[in-house]
Each structure stands twice: as C-alpha cells, then as structure tokens.
Structure 1
Amino acid sequence: MGFGKKLLAAGAVAAGAGVLAIAPRPGFDKSRHNVPGILDVPYAHRGLHDAGSGLVAGYEQESGDYVALARKMAVKAGYGSADFAGSIAPENSLASFAAAREAGYGIELDLQLTADGQVVVVHDADLERVAGDPRRIADLTYDELTRIPLFPAPAKPGDAVAKPLDAAAASAPDGYYQHVPLFSDVLKEVRGHVPLIVEYKFNGFDWSDRDDELMEKGDALLRAYDGPYVIESFHPGAVNWYKQNRPEVNRGQLADAASFGTDKKAATEWLAGLLAFDWLSRPDFIAYDWHGGDSPQVRLARTMGATTVSWTVRSSAELEESAPHFDRFIFEAFVPSRY
C-alpha cells in the first residue's frame, strides 16, 4: 500500500478521533526543544512582486499601490530601474524577495527540485503560468531555468504569455529579466533580515525518494542559514519529516476547506482540510485559506494552542474579515501598512 493510500485510511480513522486528531504539538515538547514562535510581521506571498499571483481582476483598487511599492523596493535593492517597462520583481524571484526585505516584510516561498537535483524557489509544477513555457520544473536543469524569463513582456500581470514548446530559448535573452532562483541564492539575498515561511511543494500525497531528496537538501540549506524561519507543507509527511528529524524547527500544516469527492485524491484533500492528519505531523501552526478561519477545525486547533496563519489575503477588506480568526497573515496585492 502506497503512502497516499495509507494516509487516506489513517486519516479516516483519525477524523473519527476528533480532538485527538487535530491537537497540535504539546507545549512541553515545544519547551523541551526550545521551538521559536512565528515572528509577528506581515508575510509577503512569493515576495513583494509586480507580476504574478494575486494581481488579478477584482483587486485593482489596492493592487496599484502594491505594485508600485514592489517596484520601488526592488530598484532600491539594486534590481532593474524605475523606467523599466517590463516586470522588475515577478513572483518568487530574487528581486521580489529583495523588495520584501527592503520593505521589512516577512517572506513566504516555495521549494522544488530541478532535474539535476537543485533546490529552487518556484510555486507551480510547470512554467506555463509564470513564463508561458509548459515544461515541468522536474524536467529542467537549473541552467535551463536561468535562460527562461519570468513573466516576459508583454504579459498580463497575473499570467505570462503562452508560447509553443519548441520556442524555449537556447540562450539567455538580452536585457534585464528575472528567472527561477536557487534557494541558496534567495537565502543570501535575505541574509536573515526578515523571517521566512518555507513551503515544501509536492505533487499529491504520495511519497518517493525524490521527495526525501527535497527534504534533505532543503533542510541542509536551512541548517546553514543564520536567520529566522519556519517550515510548512500541504503534505503531512513533510511536516512529519521535521517532527522526526528537526524537532527544534517550528513546523506548520497547510490546509484549506476542500470539498468532498468520490476519488481518492478528493477524499484525501477533504480529510486534510479537516486537519485529520495533524496527529501525524503535530504542527505548531495551521496555515489555512483565509476563508476558513471560522471553521470548527481551525477554531479547535487554535483553542488547543496552534498558531493560525491565513493565506492568501489580497485586500484590506479580506484582512479585516479574517483577522479575528488568525494570529498571522500572508498577503499580496495590497499594502497592509504605509511606506
């Protein structure tokens, strides 16, 4: 039986156990391992960016100030220039992380492995949305990624322009652009100035040797890093990896209120949304879709001592609505405080 099937079966049993299933890491264990808390700052989703996630219809009222701040701070950090017509700091780029650092925001980011085993910072499994390139991160080397611009002009702020698969560049384009960065380079850019929320990304709920490789290599970089960070994942196996191997690290379970379906994947996601797998990971914090802050499982976890973190808040109105239910928040598309 694969890990995903085992997880589904165990989750069904744990869901019936209710309170025991949802309970976070106990306080005595936090004290024994001297686990730090999540620093109380706003966390910029995939950095402070001027192209990418969240810059979509419905958020125009505040996103203009957000984009202007991202560009201003990126230029201040030495990226691009104020008169550059294209994107200066696309999501999950070195420029976007430098911009968040300059603004004093914490940073949320995502880790994956390239074909040649490099730990890179990128959210999607492929480059279709961020570069118009349908190839998968797992099938590309880091050297290949350095030649692919993120959100190349002309592009909509929320999506790149799609191009044929055979249009992939054999060499780096001329002029300024940002590409998928190495995690090691991101850590050098941040330099411990602001706290990080580091998400380990996976394709579903199964587990492979490659997933072990991501955990081991990502953690090795974090062990050598001198700065505040916490880790999180939708996969309870990744959070459990930290429970078993790095109990001194603050760990978080990502989840949302997925609707129940008839296939294995939908059922597993539904149970994960109920926090039914927290018995496995015993997280320190719950990172939940901001819409679900008032759900029974999130309220119960918070009552039992879990810190709650909302994702992804995209307006002042959403922040006001969700704030009573969460202790920290991840944001984009609006400026939560003036600079």
Structure 2
Amino acid sequence: MPAALHPDFLRLPVAHRAWHDRAAGRPENSRAAIRAAVAAGYAIEIDLQPSAENRPMVFHDYDLKRLTGRPGKINAFTADELAATRLIDAEDGIPSFAEVLEIVAGRVPLLVEIKDQDGAMGPDTRGFEAEVAAALGTYAGPLAVMSFNPHAVAAFHAARPDIAVGLTTSSYRPTDWVFLPAAACDALREIADYDRVGASFISHEHDDLARPRVAELKAAGAGILCWTIRSTEAEAAARMVAHNVTFEGYRALIPG
C-alpha cells in the first residue's frame, strides 16, 4: 500500500520554490523564502539538485547562471562551494537540503521535487535518490517527494517506502520539452507509471487538468495537486479539479 499524502498537503496552498519575491530579498528556494513561507503558514515546494559529491542542494536549475550570476553546472561544484555562492538578491548562498529540513522543522508540509538526473527521464539517476533518502534521516514533519522522472520516484520509494511519493506530470507538449524524444513525451503524458512507482498523488500542469487520466486517478483516490498558479482567477479554475494548488506571485488564501 503506498504511503498516504498527509492531509495538510490538500489543505494548505503550496508556495512554489518557497514563498519567493526577489524584490523583497527572498529569491526562489532561498532560506529567506523558506522562512517567509513558514511564517505565512504555507506548505512549501522545493527542488533538489546534486553537488559534485552528490549531496542534495536546494536549487532548481541545472546551471547556476540565472540565479547566481556564476556560470557552470551545479553538479560541477562541491556543497561547500555552492553554499558560498551567493544567490542574486539574497544575502547568502545555496542551501543544502539538510539545512532546509532544520529550518522547516516540521512546522509546515514540505513537498520535495527531485530534478531529473538522467537527462531524458530515464533510469540513469546516479543514485541521487538514495542520497536524498539518507539526508532525511529521522525527519518527522509532513513531507512528500516527487519527480517528473518515474525512475527517480521508484528509486526513492524503494529507499523510503514510508514517505508519500508522487509524479510531477504535464501535457508534455513537444514544443515545451524539446530535449525529450516524442515517444518519451507520449509515454509520460499518460501517467502510466503511477501504480508502478508507488505513487499516492500527482502534481499536474494546471492548464492540462481536464485530461481524462487526471480524472481517472482522482476517482481512484489519488491526491491531485497542480502547478504553477499565478493568480486568484487561475486558482479558482484549477480548484474545480485539483485538491490543491502550487502558487507564486500572489498571496494565496489559506482555508479557514
């Protein structure tokens, strides 16, 4: 039986890459954005990428340039080097997963996305999922793990079957996924790996929520989250299907 998603993931809006606002000094996936989300009472979505020694670091991109101004692939630098690499519009560097776990400390739900390490959603994920599982240790707060790559989800689930896992899912329009072969887009679009990987939820592209497969999974008891909502109007439309939203750029209301 797959581990169940904690009910607060279906109740508290999920701050995308934490509650970020660069103008306020809290860029995405930064310590400041994470602390702001905790203070506001939001659930938090973060991204994990590996350092050179395969340590999980909280960062979205494969390349450092957009968020730090420093060129180079994130996995070419050690965890210490990344910690010393200041995020643009922040006062500090890239946080490790272990540090973020200490900051959140179970006070709000934490939705963790493992970024694809294969390059084409394949099986060569370099053991990163085991490192993520090890970093969690005895963390006891509401937590769930997801990835676009079904192989990554399956590998994490094998390491920590006690933690809820899900698939980050999409319409997989070929124009949006130019690095993926059309056959891979076709296979991933149908969310065929849901049962195989031990999933209990999906986080689906919000403008594709009308897909019949989403309705089928919802009817079968899957938690339906969605990404990424950027207005109250889009949130209202998404909630016609999804149980909850991942949002950014506005202040989502927490149900009373």
Same fold (TM over 0.5): yes
The Cα of 1:38 is off from its aligned counterpart by 4.2
Q: What are the residue-to-residue correspondences of 1:89-168 with 2, within 5 Å?
A: 89-152=26-89
Aligned pair 1:37/2:6, yes or no?
yes
1:245 Cα offset (Å) = 3.3
Kept after mapping to 1: 8 A contact 2:133/2:159: no
Q: 1:236 aligns with which of 126, 140, 150?
A: 150
Q: 1:269 aligns with which of 174, 185, 201?
A: 185
Question: Could you say which residue in structure 2 is the equivalent of 1:211?
Answer: 126
The answer to whether the 8 Å contact 2:153/2:167 transfers is yes
How far apart in 1 are the matches of 2:205 and 2:31? 26
Tell me the CA shift for residue 258 of structure 1. 1.1
8 A contact 1:90–1:178 mirrored in 2: no
Q: 1:311 aligns with which of 227, 249, 253?
A: 227
Q: Provide the aligned length of Structure 1 versus Structure 2.
A: 248
Q: Whose relative contact order is higher, 1 or 2, with alpha carbons under 8 Å and at least 6 apart?
A: 1
- Is 1:294 matched with 2:234? no
**Structure 1: gaps spanning 5 or more residues:** 1-28, 52-66, 72-87, 153-175
Give the counterpart of 2:197 among 268, 275, 281. Answer: 281
Structure 1 residue identity aligned to 2:19: L
Q: Give the TM-score normalised by the residue count of structure 1.
A: 0.68
SS at match of 2:35: helix
* Paired residue secondary structure (1:218): helix
**In structure 1, C-alpha distance between the alignment counterparts of 2:149 and 2:180, rounded to whole Å:** 15
Change (3 A) 1:263 1:144: closer
Q: Distance in 2 between matches of 1:284 and 1:306?
A: 5
How far apart are the structure 2 equivalents of 1:36 and 1:274?
22
Secondary structure class of the residue paired with 2:226: strand
Shift of 1:281: 1.4
Query: Which one-letter code corresponds to 1:45 in the other structure?
Result: H
* Residues 323, 242 of structure 1: alpha-carbon distance in 2 compared, 3 angstrom cutoff: same
Distance 2:47 2:126 in 1: 14
> In structure 1, what is the Cα distance between the partners aligned to 2:180 and 2:133?
30
**Looking at CA atoms only, which structure, 1 or 2, has the larger radius of gyration?**
1
- 1:241-293 Cα deviation digits (max 9, x unpaired): 24433322111111100125898623212321221222421410011011111
Q: Deviations over 1:270-328 (max 9, x none)?
A: 32122122242141001101111111111111111111001111110110111111011
Query: C-alpha separation between the residues in 2 aligned to 1:102 and 1:330?
Result: 17
Unaligned runs of 5+ in 2: none
2:95 matched to which residue of 1?
A: 181
Q: Which has the higher helix share?
A: 1
1:196 and 2:117 equivalent? Answer: no
Decide whether the 8 Å contact of 1:45 with 1:107 is kept in 2.
Answer: yes
**What amino acid is aligned across from residue 100 of structure 1 in structure 2?**
A
**2:130 is the counterpart of 1:255:** no
Distance in 1 of aligned mates of 2:180 and 2:108: 39
Alignment-mate amino acid for residue 332 of structure 1:
E
How far did residue 237 of structure 1 move?
A: 0.9
Secondary structure, in 3 states, of the residue corresponding to 2:228?
Answer: strand
How far apart are the structure 2 equivalents of 1:268 and 1:149? 36
Give the Cα–Cα distance (whole angstroms) in 2 for the partners of residues 264 and 149 of structure 1.
32
Q: Distance in 2 between matches of 1:264 and 1:44?
A: 28
Following superposition, the deviation at residue 228 of structure 1 comes to 1.0
Whole-Å separation in 2 of the counterparts to 1:306 and 1:228: 17
TM-score by length of 2: 0.89
Match of 1:48 among 19, 32, 35: 19
1:240 shift after superposition: 1.4
